[in-house]
Amino acid sequence: MTAASLLLGTAALAAPAAQAAQPAKKYPSLIVTQDSTQVRLAVGEKMRIRLSTNRTTGYTWIADGGCCTSNDLSIAKVSKGNYKAPNTDLVGAPGVTTWTITALRPGTTDISVLSRPPGADNTMSDEEVAMIHLIVTAK
């Protein structure tokens, strides 16, 4: 991988109101150390992608994908990346960008993680950093 290792973690959807007092089920984290990996989720489960992000470089991360069944329905939803600044006054210290991928319906899809250089106006300059082959199964 270029630039960073990809840290994936999964978490269950919020419990129904009748089970609200029980803590959410925890799922193990997975650190991806190769350019592509395969992940299995059941419908309703979520996975997070977290990447170290240094905004002072001008490069940006993009996570994209999740489409589609034969009926053009999305298999997974990829959230807009959420950046959290570092808890330091050091100039140039990296923060973390997090995306949440939600398994919507059974099927297979690919989620691409891309790096976009500063000043790029189109996707022709994007570099694929990792590919996540997502397999969504029924509950």
Spell out the per-residue pLDDT of the chain, length 139, in tens. Answer: 334 455 555 544 333 334 444 555 555 555 555 667 899 999 999 988 888 888 888 888 888 898 888 888 999 999 999 999 999 988 889 999 999 999 999 999 999 998 888 888 777 788 888 899 999 999 8
Handedness of CA 124, 116, 109, 39 (dihedral sign): positive
d(CA 122, CA 90): 32
Which tokens belong to 79? 């959230």
Structural domain spans, the chain: 6-137
- In CATH terms, the fold of domain 6-137 is Immunoglobulin-like (2.60.40)
Q: Could you tell me the CA-to-CA distances from 109 to 12, 76, 99, 103, 133 in Å, in that order?
A: 20, 8, 16, 10, 6
**The predicted structure's pLDDT at residue 73:** 92
- Evaluate if pTM is beyond 0.85: no
